[in-house]
């Protein structure tokens, strides 16, 4: 099954659990808008290559859409459609005033020079600009995009419209309206989720062992946070392979190695291991922090951890979900576990709209409160329905979206 097919099946299940009116089920199974665009880019040598880009909005009943921009060589429309739906569910779980979207360009950014990457970003922004704006759709960084790309994006939108539109993009550099809360927000949210689920299960965080798949924008800062909380990071995987040290990996040394070599491969203080065996390594916590579908049926059968916290989008397949549920393994789904990034985007958007930067203490308190309330609401719903956390989260989110649909009605 494709990621979108799995998402639709989960939407149907959540809608049934939440007793969503049949009038709205078909609407929620179909994205509101899908824009596919050609993105011609002039190469440094004068050639012109044409890439394909998309912007998908799943639902905007509860507010303007919000979602990432992804540059990846294997990007597909169906993947973005599934991720847009996930964003709509995530904002509903958080109970913040947004819908969900996702976009990007099918390209390999590693093959582009800085000038080519900037031209691709600006042309993509221009092509999808009709959908973007602080009251329409607000992009944010995602896979292979960062503050620099968001800066080009907001500049293109502002110049093309002839007036300042800072609130139309989040994850921007501090110099142009970004916020300190955005850097590391997803990892911070995952760490909070780990603490929350361990509390509910009565498990000690200290001396618990963790396995992390992915050591990039989320996985690396998360490893530091887990280590600071007293956990032992016993295994890490990136695109080059996997490493294992049952005593615990020195995260600072690993980070320094990655900065020097660009990969975890060859790290001298851990043993190389087969990526296929990563999840079978003894640990209490498993954190998929890479791409979708990483935790499949085979991984679910061999998984040793008692708890899975999804730091990536859609890392657990539907088949794996069933196996993990049968084995009694707790899975905290992405719609709540990795919600820290969208909370930070919400705060940046709000501060840009207000023209006033919040104090750090205020932002930190609101961040903590929003994420904790979302987790506890999902936990309570799953307990009351006697279902998994994922099914409880989908039921909670779809019930809130359905309430908004009931309040607004359908026009014409």
Residue 398: inside a domain: no
Radius of gyration of the chain (CA): 21
Within this chain, do residues 115 and 254 fall inside the same structural domain, yes or no? no
Task: Give residue-wise pLDDT tens across range 23-50.
Answer: 999 999 999 999 999 999 999 999 999 9
Q: 44 in helix, strand or coil? A: coil
Residue after which a domain boundary falls, among 285, 304, 332:
332
**Distance between CA atoms of residues 318 and 296, nearest Å:** 8
Beta bridge partners of 188: none
Residue after which a domain boundary falls, among 283, 299, 332:
332
Within this chain, do residues 46 and 118 fall inside the same structural domain, yes or no? yes
Within this chain, do residues 141 and 39 fall inside the same structural domain, yes or no? yes
Residue 129: inside a domain: yes
Beta bridge partners of 241: 238
Pairing of strands 65-72, 48-59: unpaired
User: Structurally, how many domains does the chain consist of?
Assistant: 2
Q: What is the DSSP letter of 200?
A: H
Residue ranges of the chain whose pLDDT lies below 50: none
Task: Give residue-wise pLDDT tens across range 202-251.
Answer: 999 999 999 999 999 999 999 999 999 999 999 999 999 999 999 999 99
Residue 45: inside a domain: yes
What local confidence, expressed as pLDDT, does residue 1 receive? 72
Within this chain, do residues 212 and 312 fall inside the same structural domain, yes or no? yes
Residue 224, exposed/middle/buried by CB under 10 A (0-12, 13-18, 19+)?
A: middle
- Cis omega (within 30 of 0) for bond into 412: yes
Residue 386: inside a domain: no
Within this chain, do residues 209 and 135 fall inside the same structural domain, yes or no? no
Q: Contacts for 150-158 with beta carbons within 8 Å, 24 or more apart?
A: 150/69, 150/178, 151/176, 152/118, 152/121, 152/122, 152/125, 153/69, 153/121, 153/122, 153/125, 155/122, 156/121, 156/122, 156/125, 156/126, 156/129, 157/125, 157/129, 157/132, 157/133
Residue after which a domain boundary falls, among 299, 332, 365:
332
Within this chain, do residues 192 and 147 fall inside the same structural domain, yes or no? no
Domain region containing 301: 185-332
| CATH number for position 132 | 3.40.50.10860
Within this chain, do residues 193 and 323 fall inside the same structural domain, yes or no? yes
What local confidence, expressed as pLDDT, does residue 19 receive? 97
């Amino acid at each position: 099954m494709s990621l979108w097919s799995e998402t639709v099946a989960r939407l149907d299940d959540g809608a049934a659990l939440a007793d969503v009116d049949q009038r709205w089920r078909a609407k929620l199974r179909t994205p509101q808008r899908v824009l596919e665009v050609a993105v011609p880019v002039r190469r440094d040598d004068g050639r012109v290559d044409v890439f394909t880009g998309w912007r998908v909005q799943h639902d905007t009943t509860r507010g303007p859409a919000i979602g990432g921009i992804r540059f990846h060589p294997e990007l597909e429309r169906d993947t973005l459609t599934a991720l847009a739906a996930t964003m709509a569910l995530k904002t509903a779980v958080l109970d913040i005033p947004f819908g969900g979207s996702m976009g990007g360009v099918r390209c390999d950014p590693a093959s582009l020079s800085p000038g080519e990457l900037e031209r691709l970003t600006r042309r993509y922004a221009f092509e999808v600009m009709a959908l973007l704006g602080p009251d329409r759709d607000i992009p944010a960084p995602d896979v292979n995009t960062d503050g620099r790309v968001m800066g080009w994006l907001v500049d293109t939108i502002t110049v093309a419209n002839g007036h300042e539109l800072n609130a139309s993009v989040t994850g921007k550099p501090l110099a142009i309206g970004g916020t300190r809360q955005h850097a590391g927000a997803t990892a911070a949210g995952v760490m909070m989720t780990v603490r929350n689920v361990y509390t509910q299960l009565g498990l000690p965080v200290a001396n618990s062992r963790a396995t992390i798949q992915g050591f990039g924008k989320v996985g690396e800062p998360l490893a530091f946070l887990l280590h600071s909380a007293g956990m032992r990071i016993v295994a890490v995987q990136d695109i080059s392979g996997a490493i294992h040290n049952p005593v615990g990996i020195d995260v600072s040394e690993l980070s320094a190695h990655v900065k020097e070599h660009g990969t975890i491969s060859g790290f001298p203080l851990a043993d190389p291991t087969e990526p296929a065996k990563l999840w079978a390594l003894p640990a209490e916590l498993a954190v998929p922090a890479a791409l979708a579908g990483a935790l499949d049926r085979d991984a679910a059968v061999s998984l040793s951890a008692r708890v899975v916290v999804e730091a990536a989008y859609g890392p657990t397949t539907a088949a794996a979900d069933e196996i993990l549920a049968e084995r009694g393994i707790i899975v905290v789904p992405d719609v709540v576990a990795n919600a820290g990034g969208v909370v930070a985007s919400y705060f940046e958007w709000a501060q840009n709209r207000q023209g006033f930067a919040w104090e750090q203490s205020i932002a930190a308190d609101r961040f903590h409160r929003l994420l904790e309330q979302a987790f506890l609401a999902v936990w309570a719903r799953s307990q009351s329905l006697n279902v998994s956390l994922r099914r409880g989260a989908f039921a909670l989110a779809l019930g809130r979206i359905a309430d908004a649909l009931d309040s607004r009605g359908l026009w014409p």
